[in-house]
């Protein structure tokens, strides 16, 4: 059965076009994906991302447990800070990607993908054997609202919220009399916040943000623009760009895999060997050289030879060009500036290998 | 008589309009374009190309996805809407007057139109 967030009726009233996504009935757009996209890049947008999973980890072995399940070094994660991680299987392939937040001593929050909550929980339970850890899935009790864009900080301050100074930090706060957790994170490549609030307060908070947000040019934003925004920012989408057969090194996520972490973790031997010896396939960014649009699963060629496939592709409303991410064989001749071809409806179209992210943040904040 | 009253529509959301000179205009229904959202790319065939009923003659892409466009009847392309290829977003404004896709000469039997629906029936069929 399709699930609904506590904000479902708000979306319907706002005239959103709804779709089924990861088992949830979610707004894909309210007016126009392109308009919504530009609103987030220029002003501020409000997203309902309550479908995301929230899992609390506590107990005296919390750190040892987290060290075992992610490549990141969680011992270096400071109080009220957050870190982007992956959950590898024993072969280094990814069960999910996540953000881990440290809320206290032996108290962590994991935010994971809606479609992967069951797999993640299964995997975590299998990995807690012999450890004093409590894994508490609270996804059904919390709503998550994302306020994203260069004006997000100013908007929330206007609402009386004591906002955060640094990116990737989190703290308890209160806004309009409601307690919540506020973190300076997001999935748009823009500055912004995510607000974790108990379900019963979500509707009121949604309305307040839209109301105060009027002066900042706020709009509600659907999953359609969430996808174009994250693609422009070069951010991976689990299920498209990440799966159980792709390692973080192949995915271009080496920056999130410390080389000096002492503890063993799932897939460490494969991941470390790839860091030392290289990979056979890797993720690249592409910009189409004509008006055609590369899409998920289209094939990529060079000199008539199939070298890989597109995992995410679409338009970039900001660059006014069409962009994509692809996995291709690791070859020194396929580098920034190289031209490859994408097969679209039985015709080859030229694309240039370019750097990710495709666009830069308007408002850089200190990490 | 409004334009929609003269249309025949396919289950795959193309419309067919008989012109005064016995040629046909083919386009996408307003419902199809509404569902697709922001149109960002349109691929049309060349004048002179021939297609059988049900064959793909082009593609339309929205931000979200690519969709093929199919011939509601067999025909030979005699004109394409070039301005739409340059400004695909205008398809969101109007699909019948300025947003037509191609004009054809029919090359098949009249019976090819038997499975096409009048606009009112097409709309009902969607529900």
Nearest to A129 by CA among A270, A266, A268, A269: A266
> ipTM for the complex?
0.88
Contact between chains at B63 and A228 (C-beta distance less than 8 A) = yes
- Sequence spans of domains, chain B: 30-104
Give the model confidence (pLDDT) of A255-285 as tens digits.
999 999 999 999 999 999 999 999 999 999 9
Give the model confidence (pLDDT) of A2-25 as tens digits.
999 999 999 999 999 999 999 999
Query: Is B64 near chain A, with CB under 8 Å?
Result: yes
Is the pLDDT at A364 greater than 70? The verdict is no
Angle between the A223-232 and A33-42 helix axes, to the nearest 10 degrees? 60
Chain A CB contacts of B31 under 8 Å are: none
Query: Is B93 near chain A, with CB under 8 Å?
Result: no
Contact between chains at A345 and B43 (C-beta distance less than 8 A) = yes
Contact between chains at A32 and B41 (C-beta distance less than 8 A) = no
Give the model confidence (pLDDT) of A214-225 as tens digits.
999 999 999 999
Percent of chain B predicted with pLDDT > 90: 94
Whole-number pLDDT of residue A362: 59
Q: How far is B84 from chain A (nearest CA, A)?
A: 13
Nearest to B101 by CA among B90, B110, B112, B109: B90
Q: How far is B64 from chain A (nearest CA, A)?
A: 7
Give the model confidence (pLDDT) of A81-128 as tens digits.
999 999 999 999 999 999 999 999 999 999 999 999 999 999 999 999
Whole-number pLDDT of residue A367: 41
Query: What's this model's pTM, rounded to 2 decimal places?
Result: 0.94
Q: Which of B38, B66, B68 minimises the CB distance to A293?
A: B66
Q: How many CB pairs under 8 A join A and B?
A: 31
Query: Is B3 near chain A, with CB under 8 Å?
Result: no
Q: Which of B37, B43, B59 minimises the CB distance to A29?
A: B37
- Sequence spans of domains, chain A: 1-277, 280-367
Over range A15-37, report the average pLDDT. Answer: 96
Interface of A with B (CB under 8 A): 17, 28-29, 32-34, 224, 228, 291-293, 295, 314-315, 345
CB A219 within 8 A of CB A27: no
- Written out in words, the top-level CATH class of the domain with range B30-104 is mainly beta
Query: Is B61 near chain A, with CB under 8 Å?
Result: yes
Give the model confidence (pLDDT) of A287-309 as tens digits.
999 999 999 999 999 999 999 99
Give the best residue of B32, B33, B34, B37 to mutate against chain A (max A CB count within 10 A). Answer: B37
Q: Which of B40, B43, B68 minimises the CB distance to A315?
A: B40
CB A159 within 8 A of CB A92: no
Contact between chains at A292 and B59 (C-beta distance less than 8 A) = no
CB B62 within 8 A of CB B37: yes
Q: Measured in Å, how far apart are chain B's first and last C-alpha atoms?
A: 24
Whole-number pLDDT of residue B126: 87
Give the model confidence (pLDDT) of A232-263 as tens digits.
999 999 999 999 999 999 999 999 999 999 99
Contact between chains at B63 and A28 (C-beta distance less than 8 A) = no
Whole-number pLDDT of residue A199: 97
Whole-number pLDDT of residue A163: 86
Chain A CB contacts of B68 under 8 Å are: 345
Is the pLDDT at A361 greater than 90? The verdict is no
Is the pLDDT at B3 greater than 90? The verdict is no
CA distances from A174 to A177, B80, B127 (A): 6, 59, 45
CATH no. for A280-367? 2.40.30.110
Q: Which residue has the tokens 């000469």?
A: B105
Is the pLDDT at B107 greater than 70? The verdict is yes
Architecture of the domain made up of A1-277: 2-Layer Sandwich (3.30)
Q: CA–CA separation, A74 vs A260, rounded Å?
A: 12
Q: How far is A142 from chain B (nearest CA, A)?
A: 29
Give the best residue of B38, B43, B56 to mutate against chain A (max A CB count within 10 A). Answer: B38
Q: CA–CA separation, A339 vs A303, rounded Å?
A: 10
Contact between chains at B61 and A293 (C-beta distance less than 8 A) = yes
Give the best residue of A26, A31, A314 to mutate against chain B (max B CB count within 10 A). Answer: A314
């Amino acid at each position: 059965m399709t699930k609904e967030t506590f904000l479902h009726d708000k979306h319907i009233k706002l005239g959103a076009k709804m779709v089924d996504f990861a088992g949830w009935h979610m707004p894909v757009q309210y007016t126009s994906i392109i308009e919504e996209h530009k609103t987030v890049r220029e002003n501020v947008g409000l997203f309902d991302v309550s479908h995301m999973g929230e899992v609390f980890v506590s107990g005296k072995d919390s750190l040892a447990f987290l060290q075992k399940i992610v490549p990141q070094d969680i011992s270096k994660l400071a109080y009220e800070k957050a870190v982007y991680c992956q959950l590898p299987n024993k072969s280094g392939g990814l069960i999910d990607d996540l953000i881990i937040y440290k809320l206290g001593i032996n108290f962590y929050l994991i935010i994971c993908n809606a479609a992967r909550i069951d797999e993640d929980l299964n995997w975590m339970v299998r990995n807690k054997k012999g450890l004093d850890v409590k894994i508490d899935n609270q996804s059904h009790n919390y709503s998550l609202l994302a306020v994203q864009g260069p004006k997000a900080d100013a908007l929330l301050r206007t609402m009386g919220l004591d906002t955060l100074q640094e990116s990737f930090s989190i703290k308890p706060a209160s806004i309009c009399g409601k307690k919540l957790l506020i973190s300076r994170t997001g999935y748009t490549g823009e500055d912004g916040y995510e607000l974790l609030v108990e379900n019963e307060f979500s509707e009121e908070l949604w309305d307040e943000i839209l109301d105060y947000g009027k002066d900042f040019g706020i709009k509600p934003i659907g999953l359609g623009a969430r996808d174009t925004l994250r693609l422009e920012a070069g951010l991976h989408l689990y299920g498209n760009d990440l799966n159980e057969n792709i390692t973080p090194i192949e995915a271009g996520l080496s920056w999130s895999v410390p080389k000096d972490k002492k503890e063993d973790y799932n897939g460490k031997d494969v991941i470390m060997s790839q860091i030392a010896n290289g990979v056979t396939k890797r993720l690249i960014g592409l910009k189409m050289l004509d008006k055609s649009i590369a899409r998920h699963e289209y094939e990529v060629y060079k000199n008539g030879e199939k070298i890989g496939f597109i995992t995410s592709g679409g338009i970039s409303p900001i660059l006014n060009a069409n962009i994509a991410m692809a996995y291709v064989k690791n070859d020194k001749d396929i580098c920034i500036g190289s031209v490859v071809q994408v097969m679209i409806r039985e015709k080859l179209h030229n694309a240039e290998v370019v750097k990710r992210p495709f666009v830069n943040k308007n408002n850089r904040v200190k990490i | 008589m409004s334009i929609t009253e003269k249309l025949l529509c396919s289950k795959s959301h193309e419309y067919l309009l008989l012109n005064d000179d016995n040629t046909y205009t083919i386009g996408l229904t307003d419902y199809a374009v509404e569902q697709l959202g922001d149109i960002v790319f349109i691929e049309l065939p060349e004048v002179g190309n021939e297609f059988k009923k049900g064959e793909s003659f082009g593609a339309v892409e929205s931000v979200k996805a690519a969709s093929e466009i199919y011939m509601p009847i067999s025909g030979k392309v005699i004109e394409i809407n070039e301005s739409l290829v340059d400004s695909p977003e205008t398809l969101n404004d109007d699909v019948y007057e300025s947003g037509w896709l191609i004009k054809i000469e029919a090359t098949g039997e009249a019976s090819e139109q038997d499975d096409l629906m009048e606009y009112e029936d097409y709309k009902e069929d969607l529900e």
